[in-house]
């Protein structure tokens, strides 16, 4: 669910932000995706695998994506 919301927000920002600011956001967003994925993989490894580990990884992805949605709205939406 939050991935869809994030994509919707990002799409709206493409319409609202000047090109230079959107370019800067693209760079930051790509890094955020790398950081989010690394955090979820770290959690998966620390949990030792298994069903519960994958649930924890999904929780991390969910929380980080939700937080990113709020960040984008707070700092970039006009």
What 3-state class would DSSP assign to 77? coil
Q: What is the pLDDT of residue 48?
A: 79
CA atoms within 13 A on the CB side of 40: 17
* pLDDT of 54: 84
**Separation CA 62–CA 2 (nearest Å):** 7
Q: What is the pLDDT of residue 46?
A: 82
Q: How many residues does the chain have?
A: 78
Query: According to the model, what pLDDT value does residue 3 have?
Result: 94
Q: What is the pLDDT along the chain (78 residues), one digit of tens a residue?
A: 999 999 999 999 999 999 999 999 999 999 999 999 999 888 888 877 777 888 888 899 999 999 999 999 999 997
pLDDT value of position 30: 97
């Amino acid at each position: 669910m939050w991935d869809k919301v994030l994509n919707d927000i990002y799409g709206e920002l493409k319409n609202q932000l000047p090109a230079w600011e959107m370019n800067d956001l693209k760079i930051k967003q790509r890094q955020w995706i790398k950081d989010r994925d690394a955090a979820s993989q770290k959690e998966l490894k620390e949990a030792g695998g298994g069903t519960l580990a994958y649930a924890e990884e999904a929780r991390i992805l969910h929380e980080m994506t939700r937080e990113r949605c709020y960040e984008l709205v707070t700092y970039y939406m006009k």
